[in-house]
Amino acid sequence: MKDFLVIPERLARIKEVLERRQPDLRLFLERVVNYHNVSAILRTADAVGVLHVHYFHEGELPINDAITCGAHRWLLLHREEKVKEALTKLRDQGFQLVATGLFPETIDFREVDYTRPTVIIVGHELEGISETVRELAHAVVKIPMHGMVQSLNVSVATGIILYEAERQRKEKGLYEISHLSEEEIESILEDWAYHRVIKDKARGRLSS
């Protein structure tokens, strides 16, 4: 084990957060392009204990530090080259795929059991999810709307669904137990509290 390069209080806080992370509650961003939306989604993901965020995007995710407040630095981001292959792999691993959209088969987002291993999939701001995602999804959900406008901003919609997942998981006590092995926690700590600190110092930047 390496000597970590953060103060003990900081290290304890990181460990505490990791012990509440929900590695079986994941996000998949399919062509979400606006940096405000991406950054707000990542900040909410961190807040509800998500660890893994998958994304399909040309180039790196457009992230704004001022919006995320550094939250993206405490997530594991996975760039996916092919949507179908990535989601099929997650399905095969036992995840239920829950996409957002307005189709005949769409159900209320609260009808889903988010205590199961789940990937929440959100799509492009204007075009929504692709037909590939629609075909692979176990469920397509919507948030009820009672006004003239029939959709929410993608970051707002994602936040609402994530907090429904948080509510269900909290009721079941899933934040009270660690879902990561000691080896997994140690590996992430080595990255976040050692390698990242060295990189940040090399760039003249303090960790957030």
Mean pLDDT of 35-52: 98
- Binding site listing for S-adenosyl-L-methionine: 100, 143, 152
Coil, helix or strand for 76? strand
- Could you tell me which of 130, 118, 114, 117 has the C-alpha nearest to residue 170? 114
- Binding site listing: 100, 143, 152
% pLDDT > 70, the chain: 97
Q: How many helices, marked H, and strands, marked E, lie in the chain?
A: 8, 7
d(CA 127, CA 195): 39
Q: Return the minimum-mean-pLDDT range out of 105-109, 155-159, 191-195.
A: 191-195
**Distances from the Cα of 68 to the Cαs of 71, 77, 119, 139, 198, in angstroms?**
5, 14, 21, 29, 22
**Distances from the Cα of 190 to the Cαs of 6, 10, 17, 75, 196, in angstroms?**
11, 13, 15, 14, 8
d(CA 19, CA 77): 18
145-181 tens-digit pLDDT: 999 998 899 999 999 999 999 999 999 999 999 999 9
- Could you tell me which of 48, 17, 33 has the C-alpha nearest to residue 163? 48
d(CA 171, CA 13): 23
Mean pLDDT of 27-46: 98
65-84 tens-digit pLDDT: 999 999 999 999 999 999 99
CATH of region 25-182 = 3.40.1280.10
d(CA 50, CA 42): 9
